[in-house]
Amino acid sequence: MLHCEESSMKSAWLFGSFSKEAVSRGLRKTRWIQKKLIYNIKWNLLYKTLLVRVRYWAWALYRSLDIGLSFIPNNRFQLGLGFLIVSFHGPLLRSS
C-alpha cells in the first residue's frame, strides 16, 4: 500500500506535478497514518483479549461463590446473603 503511494508520488514529482516538499509531506502523512492504524489495531486486540479474560475470571469467581446451580441471585439482598453464607461456611467447615 505504502509502496504504490510512494512510487506514484515520486513519479508525480519527477514529472513536475508536485513540489518536493509536498511529496515528502504526503509521505510523512501516510507513514504517520499507517503507524497510527497499526498502534490502534494492537491496542484494540489487547483490550479485547483482556476484556474476555476479565469477563471469564469474573464469571468463574461468581460461580465459585455461588451456593448451587439453583441459587442465582437476582437482587442485591440475595447476592449479599450468598456472600455471607459462603464467608461463614468457610471458617465453620475448617474448625470441624
Per-run averaged pLDDT (10 residues), the chain, 96 residues = 55 59 76 84 83 80 62 58 62 54
Burial class, 26, CB count within 10 angstroms (exposed 0-12 / middle 13-18 / buried 19+): middle
Q: CA 18, CA 12: separation in Å to the nearest integer?
A: 6
For cell 471469564, the residue is: 56
Determine the pLDDT at residue 35.
85
pTM, entire model:
0.33
Determine the pLDDT at residue 87.
63
Determine the pLDDT at residue 55.
81
